[in-house]
Amino acid sequence: MPRKIDFSVRAEPATLDHYRRNWISSPGMGVAGMWIGAVLTDAKGEYYFGLRGADDFIPGMTHTVMPICGFRKLQRTLAAPPPHLFPEYATIDWFEPLQAAETDDNVQLTYDSGKIERTADGFHWTDASGRWDLRGKTHSDVCVVHVPKQEGVEHEFAYRHELLRVEGTVGGIEVAGHLHHDYAYARDGLIYSQLPIARVLQGLWVSWLHEYADGRIGGGFFWQGRGGLDFGPGYVLKDGVTTVRNDITAKPLLNENGQLVGLDFQIGENAYAFDLEMVGSPIHFFGKISKDSSGELPARSWCWVEYNDGTKLTPQHLDRGVRRTALARER
């Protein structure tokens, strides 16, 4: 029998308080990272992938997130990640101080190269030079997964995820699609790369959004345990309702190079399949829905899978990535 990981999962309607700097998942926890991740398409059906993070190396700092990425225009090949749309993001990962401004109806994180702004359900992410400008709203609840300390889990942690639909421009091209806003939480000032989820637990991380011809929005998020671990928290968004699950199962399909080319999964009575034909890094794969158990395929879909079999992103890789910030994080 696979070893079962103890966890809990809950959903709560998104409020503006969720984006304030003092929101935590439970008493005694602190922010261990925050990320904005987008998978978008233009009128020609071309895909774009963008990523931005904060607080996951040094509290109060933002950076471009490894693998270094402002935005990439994805190509329908698994041969290699596509080039960066904006060359400065292809240099060594770089950091900027965050400034936070909060009012009764608005929360802003600003930094020299851009801004992330939240209202109760509204969202605005912009580059200071106008290279991208995205607006949208949250469609799911906020889903929170909590994993206590236990055998094989050295540190307690929590993770939250929500789905947004956004539209705007990237490099002057009109785009629309999926965006997730997620956070990690931990004790003792730990950051995401020090937590068990990245180091030992995660085999698959999945986030997707789809849109039917009549404008209905669906999607979801889930994890699968690495190496057969029984670990399947997540949620499905369907007909405007977010339903959390603790028993999600997925079956990855790999090619001869060990790359992810397909994914079948079950969330309660809902079953889906992805065709994955694009890569954003050695562990990030993108594609579209190829099966929907409702019998109705969506008109558009934006599917993102992070696949780690334990060889492409190891604890040693993670430690090397944060070593240069160790002095700044000393107390």
* pLDDT score recorded for residue 198: 93
Q: What is the pLDDT of residues 190-208, one digit of tens each?
A: 999 999 999 999 999 999 9
In this prediction the pTM is: 0.96
Q: In this model, does residue 330 exceed pLDDT 80?
A: no
Mean pLDDT of 240-247: 97
In DSSP notation, 266-312 reads EETTEEEEEEEEEEEETTEEEEEEEEETTS---SEEEEEEEE--SSS
pLDDT tens digits for range 254-272: 999 999 999 999 999 999 9
Q: What is residue 183's predicted lDDT score, i.e. its pLDDT?
A: 98
Q: In 3D, which of 106, 115, 4, 33 has the Cα closest to residue 318?
A: 33
pLDDT value at 1 more than 90:
no
What phi, psi does 23 have (nearest 5°)?
Answer: -75, 130
pLDDT at 94: 80
CA distance 223 to 182: 13
Residue closest to 220 by CA, chosen among 9, 3, 7, 73: 9
Q: Residue holding tokens 């071309």?
A: 46
Residue 273 CB burial class (10 angstroms; 0-12, 13-18, ≥19): middle
- Taken in order 203, 207, 211, 216, the sign of the CA dihedral is positive
